[in-house]
Structure formats: C-alpha cells, structure tokens
Amino acid sequence: MIEKFIKFKEPVIFGGRDGAEDGIVFRTQVVMTDGRNLLISDAQHGKGIYAVDETLVFQCDDEGEVTDWTEVTGGRFARTEDIIKLLNES
C-alpha cells in the first residue's frame, strides 16, 4: 500500500526530429508502507511498430533514481492511476 507520494506525474518530454515532440513519460515516485521507494513510469512515445504505451514500476532510491530495472509490476496500455490502484490493493 502507498504511504505517500514524493512526485506525481512529473512529465518528461521526448523530442523527435527537428524539435518535434515524439512522446512523453510521466514519473511518479511513491513510498510504500513497507518503506520501499518505487518509481511509476507511464510512457507513451514512438509510432508504428516502435510505439510504447505502458506503465511500469521499478525500485528506486530516495531521489527517484532507479536502483533495479526488474519490473515490480505494470503493463501495456495501463496508466499511472491504474497502477496506483493496483499498488494500494496489494
């Protein structure tokens, strides 16, 4: 269960060619009741076969830097709010 939010949907824009926007990642950092810091990465970028539309959760440090790239949870076509609900149910 989530104890508190450190960051909520902080946007990171990915630029395409000639400065065109290619996509966005929203980063949310939470502290769980067991003390773990988690980073929720909600990514929507690319086109065609290179399209990414997924939200994944990784362990991170107090500053929000990923410490383990093994996915804690997440899924394709999921949004931050879906993952928050999932984390609060566990």
How far apart CA 6 and CA 36 sit, in angstroms, is 12
Residue 17: its pLDDT value, please?
60
Residue 81: domain span: 2-89
Mean pLDDT across the stretch 75-86?
Answer: 96
- For 13-70, the pLDDT digits (tens) are 876 665 555 788 999 999 999 999 999 999 988 777 888 899 999 999 999 999 999 9
> What tokens appear for 13 in the block?
């824009």
Given this model, what pLDDT does residue 69 score? 97
Buried b (16+ CB within 10 A) or exposed e, 34-64: eeebbbbbbbbbeeeeeeeebbbbbebeeee
The structural domain count of the chain equals 1
Tokens encoding 46 = 């690319």
- Cβ atoms of residues 36 and 19 within 8 Å: no
pTM summary value? 0.88
